[in-house]
Amino acid sequence: MRYLLLFLVAFQSHAQISDFDHINFSKSDQIALMHKNEELDNMPELVYNLTSELDTDVERFRAIYMWVCHNIANDYTLYLKNKRKRNKYKNDSIKLKAWNDRFKKDVFRKLLKQEKTICTGYAYIVQQLANLANLDCEIVHGYGKTSMTNIESLDPPNHSWNAIKLDGKWYLCDPTWASGIPEPETNIFRFDYNDGYFLSNPKLFIINHFPQDQKWILLENETHSFDEFLAAPILYGKAYTNLVEHDTPKQMHHLLHKDEKISFKYQLQKTINVESVSFLIDDGYSNKRTKPNSISIDEQSLTLEHQFDTNGFYDVHLYIGDDLISTYTFKVKG
Partner 1 sequence: MKTLTIKKITQLLGIMMITALFSNPIYAQNKDVASSTVTSQDITIKGKVMDENGPLPGVNIVLKGSKTGAVTDVNGEFTFPKSLSSGDVLIFSFLGYDKQEIKIDGKTTYINLLMSNDIIEIMGAPSTDKPYKSKRSN
Question: Would you say 74 or 201 has its CB closer to partner 1?
Answer: 74
**Which of 16, 71, 158, 200 touches partner 1 by CB under 8 A?**
158
Nearer to partner 1, 19 or 115 (CB): 115
Among 61, 67, 124, 216, binds partner 1 (CB under 8 A): 124
* Nearest to partner 1 of 214, 301 (CB atom): 214
Task: Check binding of 111 to partner 1 (CB under 8 A).
Answer: yes
For partner 1, give the closer residue by CB, 134 or 263: 134
| Size of interface with partner 1, in residues (CB under 8 A) | 69
Q: Are 210 and 142 in contact (CB under 8 A)?
A: yes
Give the type of residue at 287. Answer: N
Positions in 183-242 near partner 1 (CB under 8 A): 184, 189, 194, 234, 236-238
The CA distance from 1 to 280, in Å, is 48
CA distances from 9 to 6, 144, 333 (A): 5, 30, 44
Q: Closer CB to partner 1, residue 181 or residue 297?
A: 181
Amino acid in the structure at residue 227 = D
Q: State which of residues 23, 35, 115, 128 lies at the interface with partner 1 (CB under 8 A).
A: 128
- Smallest gap, in angstroms, from Cβ of residue 298 to partner 1? 28
Instruction: Please name the residues in contact with 82: beta carbons below 8 A apart, sequence gap of 6 or more.
Output: 103, 118
Residues 61-100 that bind partner 1 (CB under 8 A): 74, 76, 78-79, 82-83, 86, 100
Q: Which residues in 232-291 contact partner 1 (CB under 8 A)?
A: 234, 236-238, 280, 282, 284
Nearest-5° angle of CA 285, CA 287, CA 288?
A: 125
Cβ nearer to partner 1, comparing 4 with 94: 94
241, 194 contact by CB (below 8 A):
yes
Minimum distance of partner 1 from residue 241's CB (angstroms): 12
Peptide bond into 249 cis (omega under 30): yes
Planar angle of CA 240, 243, 247, nearest 5 degrees: 120
Closest CB 169 distance from partner 1, rounded Å: 22
Q: Report whether 72 contacts 37 (CB < 8 A).
A: no
290 three-class SS: strand
- Interacting residue with partner 1 among 14, 116, 159, 246 (CB under 8 A): 159
As to burial, measured by CB atoms within 10 angstroms (0-12 exposed, 13-18 middle, 19+ buried), residue 188 is: exposed
CA 231 from chain centre, in angstroms, equals 17
Q: Please select the residue that binds partner 1; options are 13, 24, 48, 88, rule is CB under 8 A.
A: 48
DSSP string covering 221-239: T----HHHHHHSPEE-TTH
Q: In the chain, count H helices and then E strands.
A: 11, 18
Contacts with partner 1, residue ranges (CB under 8 A): 41-45, 47-48, 51-52, 74, 76, 78-79, 82-83, 86, 100-101, 103-105, 107-108, 111-112, 117-121, 124-125, 128, 131-134, 141, 144, 146-149, 156-160, 176-177, 180-182, 184, 189, 194, 234, 236-238, 280, 282, 284, 313, 315, 317, 324, 327, 329
